[in-house]
Amino acid sequence: MPPAVIIPTYNESDNIEILAREILALPIGAHIIVVDDNSPDGTGALVDSIAAREPRVHAVHRPAKLGLGTAHIAGVRRAFSLDLDPIVTMDADFSHHPCYIPDLLTGLGRFDVMIGSRYVPGGGTRFFSIKRQIFSHGANTFARLMLGLAATDCTAGFRAYRRSVLE
């Protein structure tokens, strides 16, 4: 089965077409599921125009900004309905580059979940403001301590899952 790449969006019209083009060019046959929360900048309409030209692009339109977690759930449900597996999640702002998607998918040969971390050798947060860096480090420290997790990037939006884990 081909993989799904789920991308929640809100006001990402500057990035979404370039991001979609880069994902579609990868040699993995991925489908893209964009979950747009009624972006005032026209992101949803732009995704519709891309989907009209490219059958591997799918739009999920939501009536308002309903949150990242529920956007991921809506995207996963669409991926299930299209019988796609595995499932990748990523942000539309290029905080993670799509060229790393094949590496995440390769890792699923050994693991059920792969995290594209910013806090490993070769990772980074060069587009993060100081405030966002402090918030990210604080949120990760809190999650690790409260949940007893070993992962150093619990807040990463760039992940790959085997479908069976999400089911």
Calculate mean pLDDT across residues 16-37: 98
**How would residue 122 be classed by pLDDT, with cut points 50, 70 and 90?**
low
Calculate mean pLDDT across residues 151-158: 72
Higher pLDDT, 145 or 64: 64
Strand stretches in the chain, DSSP E: 4-9, 31-36, 57-61, 87-89, 113-115, 159-161
Say whether pLDDT at 75 is over 90.
Answer: yes
What is the chain's mean pLDDT, rounded?
89
pTM score above 0.85: yes
Say whether pLDDT at 74 is over 80.
Answer: yes
User: What's the confidence (pLDDT) of residue 128?
Assistant: 66
Amino acid identity for residue 16 in this structure = I
pLDDT > 70 in the chain, percent: 86
Say whether pLDDT at 40 is over 90.
Answer: yes
Say whether pLDDT at 115 is over 70.
Answer: yes
Beta-carbon contacts of 23 under 8 Å, excluding residues fewer than 6 positions away, are 5, 30, 32, 98, 101
